[in-house]
Protein backbone atom coordinates (compact mmCIF):
# COMPACT_ATOMS: atom_id res chain seq x y z
CA UNK A 1 0.00 0.00 0.00
CA UNK A 2 1.17 3.48 -0.76
CA UNK A 3 2.45 5.60 2.12
CA UNK A 4 1.37 8.70 0.31
CA UNK A 5 -2.18 7.88 -0.70
CA UNK A 6 -3.37 5.82 2.26
CA UNK A 7 -3.60 8.85 4.48
CA UNK A 8 -5.03 11.62 2.32
CA UNK A 9 -7.06 14.03 4.43
CA UNK A 10 -10.08 15.87 3.13
CA UNK A 11 -9.18 18.87 5.31
CA UNK A 12 -7.21 21.73 3.80
CA UNK A 13 -4.38 20.59 1.54
CA UNK A 14 -1.65 22.63 -0.09
CA UNK A 15 0.52 21.17 -2.84
CA UNK A 16 3.82 22.90 -3.56
CA UNK A 17 7.52 22.47 -4.34
CA UNK A 18 10.75 24.41 -4.66
CA UNK A 19 10.91 28.09 -5.53
CA UNK A 20 10.79 28.80 -9.28
CA UNK A 21 9.69 25.22 -9.98
CA UNK A 22 11.21 23.22 -12.83
CA UNK A 23 9.63 20.47 -14.91
CA UNK A 24 10.03 17.90 -12.15
CA UNK A 25 8.60 20.03 -9.32
CA UNK A 26 5.68 21.19 -11.47
CA UNK A 27 5.11 17.80 -13.07
CA UNK A 28 4.99 15.93 -9.77
CA UNK A 29 2.90 18.53 -7.94
CA UNK A 30 0.38 18.87 -10.77
CA UNK A 31 0.12 15.09 -11.27
CA UNK A 32 -0.67 14.80 -7.56
CA UNK A 33 -3.25 17.60 -7.85
CA UNK A 34 -4.95 15.81 -10.76
CA UNK A 35 -5.15 12.62 -8.70
CA UNK A 36 -6.61 14.38 -5.66
CA UNK A 37 -9.14 16.07 -7.96
CA UNK A 38 -10.14 12.69 -9.36
CA UNK A 39 -10.67 11.46 -5.80
CA UNK A 40 -12.82 14.47 -4.99
CA UNK A 41 -10.26 15.76 -2.46
CA UNK A 42 -9.93 19.55 -2.32
CA UNK A 43 -6.42 20.98 -2.64
CA UNK A 44 -4.63 24.15 -3.69
CA UNK A 45 -1.45 24.28 -5.75
CA UNK A 46 0.88 27.21 -5.22
CA UNK A 47 4.59 27.94 -5.67
CA UNK A 48 6.85 30.88 -4.97
CA UNK A 49 7.49 31.84 -8.58
CA UNK A 50 9.47 34.87 -9.67
CA UNK A 51 7.88 36.06 -12.90
CA UNK A 52 6.04 33.46 -14.95
CA UNK A 53 6.29 29.71 -15.32
CA UNK A 54 8.76 29.14 -18.19
CA UNK A 55 6.85 28.97 -21.48
CA UNK A 56 8.56 25.66 -22.31
CA UNK A 57 6.49 24.08 -19.53
CA UNK A 58 3.20 25.51 -20.79
CA UNK A 59 1.99 22.04 -21.83
CA UNK A 60 1.47 21.30 -18.12
CA UNK A 61 -1.89 22.24 -16.54
CA UNK A 62 -0.40 25.35 -14.93
CA UNK A 63 -3.87 26.94 -14.84
CA UNK A 64 -4.37 24.76 -11.73
CA UNK A 65 -1.90 26.95 -9.84
CA UNK A 66 -3.78 29.51 -7.73
CA UNK A 67 -2.83 33.18 -7.43
CA UNK A 68 -2.61 33.39 -3.65
CA UNK A 69 -2.55 30.63 -1.02
CA UNK A 70 -4.75 30.65 2.11
CA UNK A 71 -3.09 31.80 5.32
CA UNK A 72 -2.79 28.30 6.65
CA UNK A 73 -3.26 24.67 5.70
CA UNK A 74 -3.47 21.51 7.77
CA UNK A 75 -1.58 19.37 5.27
CA UNK A 76 1.23 20.53 3.01
CA UNK A 77 2.62 18.27 0.28
CA UNK A 78 6.07 19.33 -0.88
CA UNK A 79 7.53 17.96 -4.11
CA UNK A 80 11.13 18.05 -5.30
CA UNK A 81 12.40 20.22 -2.44
CA UNK A 82 14.85 18.89 0.13
CA UNK A 83 15.26 22.04 2.20
CA UNK A 84 12.43 24.18 3.59
CA UNK A 85 14.34 27.37 2.70
CA UNK A 86 13.85 26.40 -0.93
CA UNK A 87 10.10 26.89 -0.47
CA UNK A 88 10.74 30.64 -0.54
CA UNK A 89 7.84 32.61 0.85
CA UNK A 90 5.91 29.42 1.59
CA UNK A 91 8.45 28.21 4.14
CA UNK A 92 6.66 29.51 7.25
CA UNK A 93 3.27 28.44 6.00
CA UNK A 94 4.57 24.90 5.52
CA UNK A 95 6.44 24.71 8.82
CA UNK A 96 3.37 26.02 10.68
CA UNK A 97 1.02 23.43 9.19
CA UNK A 98 -0.07 20.32 11.08
CA UNK A 99 1.63 17.89 8.75
CA UNK A 100 4.25 18.26 6.03
CA UNK A 101 4.75 15.41 3.58
CA UNK A 102 7.92 15.62 1.47
CA UNK A 103 8.11 13.59 -1.73
CA UNK A 104 11.59 13.98 -3.15
CA UNK A 105 14.79 12.59 -4.63
CA UNK A 106 17.34 14.96 -3.07
CA UNK A 107 19.90 13.71 -0.58
CA UNK A 108 18.85 13.97 3.09
CA UNK A 109 15.84 16.28 3.09
CA UNK A 110 15.98 18.40 6.22
CA UNK A 111 12.26 18.67 6.96
CA UNK A 112 8.93 16.91 6.71
CA UNK A 113 6.79 14.94 9.19
CA UNK A 114 6.44 12.27 6.53
CA UNK A 115 9.24 11.74 4.02
CA UNK A 116 8.85 9.68 0.87
CA UNK A 117 12.35 9.88 -0.46
CA UNK A 118 14.68 8.04 -2.77
CA UNK A 119 17.88 9.93 -3.45
CA UNK A 120 18.72 7.37 -6.14
CA UNK A 121 15.56 8.12 -8.10
CA UNK A 122 16.13 10.13 -11.25
CA UNK A 123 13.18 12.41 -10.62
CA UNK A 124 10.52 13.21 -8.05
CA UNK A 125 7.94 12.09 -10.61
CA UNK A 126 9.62 8.67 -10.46
CA UNK A 127 9.11 8.56 -6.67
CA UNK A 128 5.49 9.66 -7.11
CA UNK A 129 4.94 7.12 -9.91
CA UNK A 130 5.87 4.26 -7.54
CA UNK A 131 3.32 5.53 -4.99
CA UNK A 132 0.66 5.78 -7.68
CA UNK A 133 1.31 2.21 -8.81
CA UNK A 134 1.34 0.77 -5.30
CA UNK A 135 -1.97 2.53 -4.59
CA UNK A 136 -3.48 1.11 -7.81
CA UNK A 137 -4.40 4.54 -9.09
CA UNK A 138 -5.18 4.84 -12.76
CA UNK A 139 -2.92 7.13 -14.79
CA UNK A 140 -4.76 9.10 -17.45
CA UNK A 141 -3.17 11.06 -20.29
CA UNK A 142 -2.90 14.32 -18.33
CA UNK A 143 -1.27 12.65 -15.35
CA UNK A 144 1.04 10.73 -17.69
CA UNK A 145 2.14 13.98 -19.35
CA UNK A 146 2.94 15.56 -15.98
CA UNK A 147 4.95 12.54 -14.81
CA UNK A 148 6.75 12.25 -18.15
CA UNK A 149 7.77 15.92 -18.00
CA UNK A 150 9.65 15.41 -14.73
CA UNK A 151 11.24 12.26 -16.08
CA UNK A 152 12.41 13.95 -19.28
CA UNK A 153 13.76 17.11 -17.68
CA UNK A 154 15.54 15.51 -14.72
CA UNK A 155 17.22 12.87 -16.89
CA UNK A 156 18.14 15.40 -19.60
CA UNK A 157 16.04 13.53 -22.17
CA UNK A 158 17.06 10.13 -20.82
CA UNK A 159 20.76 10.91 -21.13
CA UNK A 160 22.10 11.73 -17.66
CA UNK A 161 23.77 9.03 -15.58
CA UNK A 162 20.62 8.74 -13.42
CA UNK A 163 18.83 7.13 -16.39
CA UNK A 164 18.43 3.47 -15.48
CA UNK A 165 16.17 0.56 -16.42
CA UNK A 166 13.40 1.72 -14.16
CA UNK A 167 13.31 5.13 -15.83
CA UNK A 168 12.63 3.45 -19.18
CA UNK A 169 10.08 1.10 -17.63
CA UNK A 170 8.22 4.07 -16.20
CA UNK A 171 8.47 5.94 -19.49
CA UNK A 172 7.13 2.89 -21.29
CA UNK A 173 4.15 2.64 -18.93
CA UNK A 174 3.49 6.38 -19.30
CA UNK A 175 3.52 6.01 -23.10
CA UNK A 176 0.89 3.27 -22.75
CA UNK A 177 -1.09 5.65 -20.58
CA UNK A 178 -1.09 8.25 -23.35
CA UNK A 179 1.92 10.48 -22.60
CA UNK A 180 2.65 12.73 -25.57
CA UNK A 181 6.44 12.37 -25.66
CA UNK A 182 7.03 14.18 -28.93
CA UNK A 183 4.96 17.27 -28.24
CA UNK A 184 6.23 17.51 -24.66
CA UNK A 185 9.85 17.23 -25.82
CA UNK A 186 9.28 19.76 -28.58
CA UNK A 187 7.79 22.25 -26.13
CA UNK A 188 10.56 21.77 -23.57
CA UNK A 189 13.58 21.65 -25.88
CA UNK A 190 12.52 22.81 -29.32
CA UNK A 191 10.57 26.00 -28.59
CA UNK A 192 13.01 28.68 -27.49
CA UNK A 193 12.05 32.34 -27.98
CA UNK A 194 14.20 34.11 -30.60
CA UNK A 195 15.43 36.63 -28.02
CA UNK A 196 16.63 33.80 -25.82
CA UNK A 197 18.54 32.31 -28.76
CA UNK A 198 20.22 35.70 -29.30
CA UNK A 199 21.16 35.80 -25.61
CA UNK A 200 22.50 32.26 -25.95
CA UNK A 201 24.95 33.35 -28.62
CA UNK A 202 26.24 36.03 -26.24
CA UNK A 203 26.57 33.52 -23.40
CA UNK A 204 28.39 31.06 -25.70
CA UNK A 205 30.80 33.85 -26.68
CA UNK A 206 31.63 34.34 -23.02
CA UNK A 207 32.55 30.72 -22.31
CA UNK A 208 35.94 30.29 -20.74
CA UNK A 209 37.63 26.88 -20.65
CA UNK A 210 39.99 26.04 -17.81
CA UNK A 211 41.93 23.12 -19.22
CA UNK A 212 43.59 21.93 -16.05
CA UNK A 213 40.26 21.66 -14.22
CA UNK A 214 38.34 20.69 -17.37
CA UNK A 215 35.87 23.38 -16.37
CA UNK A 216 33.80 25.70 -18.55
CA UNK A 217 32.24 28.84 -17.13
CA UNK A 218 29.88 31.44 -18.53
CA UNK A 219 27.49 33.95 -17.05
CA UNK A 220 24.32 36.00 -17.55
CA UNK A 221 24.01 39.51 -16.10
CA UNK A 222 20.84 41.38 -15.18
CA UNK A 223 21.50 43.84 -17.99
CA UNK A 224 21.37 40.95 -20.48
CA UNK A 225 17.71 40.32 -19.67
CA UNK A 226 17.01 43.98 -20.45
CA UNK A 227 19.19 44.14 -23.56
CA UNK A 228 17.67 41.00 -25.04
CA UNK A 229 14.16 41.67 -23.69
CA UNK A 230 13.85 38.21 -22.19
CA UNK A 231 12.63 36.97 -18.80
CA UNK A 232 15.16 35.10 -16.70
CA UNK A 233 12.69 32.20 -16.49
CA UNK A 234 13.19 31.66 -20.25
CA UNK A 235 16.91 30.95 -19.88
CA UNK A 236 16.98 27.66 -17.99
CA UNK A 237 18.20 25.90 -21.12
CA UNK A 238 21.49 27.81 -21.27
CA UNK A 239 23.35 25.45 -18.95
CA UNK A 240 22.70 22.67 -21.46
CA UNK A 241 24.55 24.65 -24.14
CA UNK A 242 27.52 25.35 -21.87
CA UNK A 243 27.94 21.72 -20.89
CA UNK A 244 28.37 20.64 -24.55
CA UNK A 245 32.05 21.62 -24.61
CA UNK A 246 34.01 18.46 -25.31
CA UNK A 247 37.12 19.52 -23.41
CA UNK A 248 35.17 20.01 -20.19
CA UNK A 249 33.88 17.70 -17.50
CA UNK A 250 32.28 20.36 -15.33
CA UNK A 251 30.10 23.23 -16.51
CA UNK A 252 29.25 26.29 -14.45
CA UNK A 253 26.70 28.92 -15.46
CA UNK A 254 26.36 31.97 -13.23
CA UNK A 255 23.22 34.08 -13.35
CA UNK A 256 23.18 37.45 -11.70
CA UNK A 257 20.06 38.05 -9.57
CA UNK A 258 18.11 41.26 -8.85
CA UNK A 259 20.13 41.84 -5.68
CA UNK A 260 23.47 41.40 -7.54
CA UNK A 261 24.10 37.99 -5.96
CA UNK A 262 24.73 35.02 -8.27
CA UNK A 263 22.91 31.77 -8.78
CA UNK A 264 25.21 29.02 -10.00
CA UNK A 265 24.23 25.90 -11.95
CA UNK A 266 26.75 23.07 -12.02
CA UNK A 267 26.80 20.00 -14.25
CA UNK A 268 29.34 17.20 -14.44
CA UNK A 269 29.67 14.48 -17.01
CA UNK A 270 32.03 12.08 -15.28
CA UNK A 271 32.33 10.88 -11.72
CA UNK A 272 33.07 14.33 -10.39
CA UNK A 273 30.60 15.23 -7.64
CA UNK A 274 29.18 18.72 -8.20
CA UNK A 275 26.82 18.33 -5.25
CA UNK A 276 29.89 18.47 -3.04
CA UNK A 277 31.06 21.64 -4.82
CA UNK A 278 27.62 23.29 -4.51
CA UNK A 279 27.58 22.46 -0.80
CA UNK A 280 30.69 24.64 -0.33
CA UNK A 281 28.39 27.55 -1.20
CA UNK A 282 25.51 26.24 0.94
CA UNK A 283 23.76 24.79 -2.11
CA UNK A 284 22.93 21.25 -3.13
CA UNK A 285 21.24 18.94 -5.58
CA UNK A 286 22.63 15.80 -7.12
CA UNK A 287 26.03 14.39 -7.98
CA UNK A 288 25.78 15.33 -11.66
CA UNK A 289 23.59 18.44 -11.37
CA UNK A 290 23.54 20.95 -8.55
CA UNK A 291 23.00 24.59 -7.79
CA UNK A 292 23.85 27.30 -5.28
CA UNK A 293 23.42 30.98 -4.46
CA UNK A 294 26.23 33.27 -3.34
CA UNK A 295 27.20 36.89 -2.78
CA UNK A 296 30.74 36.23 -4.04
CA UNK A 297 31.97 37.82 -7.28
CA UNK A 298 32.37 35.86 -10.52
CA UNK A 299 36.15 35.78 -10.01
CA UNK A 300 35.84 34.57 -6.41
CA UNK A 301 33.34 31.88 -7.42
CA UNK A 302 35.62 30.62 -10.20
CA UNK A 303 38.59 30.33 -7.84
CA UNK A 304 36.52 28.42 -5.29
CA UNK A 305 35.10 26.03 -7.90
CA UNK A 306 38.50 25.42 -9.49
CA UNK A 307 40.02 24.61 -6.11
CA UNK A 308 37.15 22.26 -5.31
CA UNK A 309 37.61 20.43 -8.61
CA UNK A 310 41.38 20.13 -8.04
CA UNK A 311 40.75 18.59 -4.64
CA UNK A 312 38.58 15.92 -6.27
CA UNK A 313 40.84 15.02 -9.22
Which residues contact Mn ion by CB under 5 A?
24, 80, 124, 154
- Residue 26 or 192: which CB sits closer to Mn ion? 26
User: Long-range CB contacts (< 8 A, 24+ apart) of 239-246?
Assistant: 239/265, 239/267, 240/156, 241/200, 241/203, 241/204, 242/203, 242/204, 242/207, 242/216, 242/217, 242/218, 242/267, 243/216, 243/267, 243/269, 245/207, 245/209, 245/216
- Residue 286 or 302: which CB sits closer to Mn ion? 286
Beta carbon of residue 242, minimum distance to Mn ion (angstroms, whole number): 20
Name the residue with the smallest CB distance to Mn ion.
Answer: 24
- Residue 154 or 213: which CB sits closer to Mn ion? 154
- Residue 24 or 214: which CB sits closer to Mn ion? 24
Beta carbon of residue 253, minimum distance to Mn ion (angstroms, whole number): 18
- Within 138-261, residue ranges assigned H as helices are 141-154, 165-176, 181-189, 194-205, 222-227, 238-242
Beta carbon of residue 212, minimum distance to Mn ion (angstroms, whole number): 32
Beta carbon of residue 154, minimum distance to Mn ion (angstroms, whole number): 5
- Residue 128 or 309: which CB sits closer to Mn ion? 128
Beta carbon of residue 25, minimum distance to Mn ion (angstroms, whole number): 7
Amino acid sequence: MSNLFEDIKSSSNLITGHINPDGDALGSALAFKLILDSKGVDSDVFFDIKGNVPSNLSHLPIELIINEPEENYENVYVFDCGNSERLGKLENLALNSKRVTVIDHHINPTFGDIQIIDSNAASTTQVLFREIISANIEIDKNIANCLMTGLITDTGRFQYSNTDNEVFEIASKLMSDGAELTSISDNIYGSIPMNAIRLQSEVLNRIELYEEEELVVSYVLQEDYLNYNIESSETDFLIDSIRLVKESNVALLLKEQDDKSFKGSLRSRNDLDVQQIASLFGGGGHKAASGFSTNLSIEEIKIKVKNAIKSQI
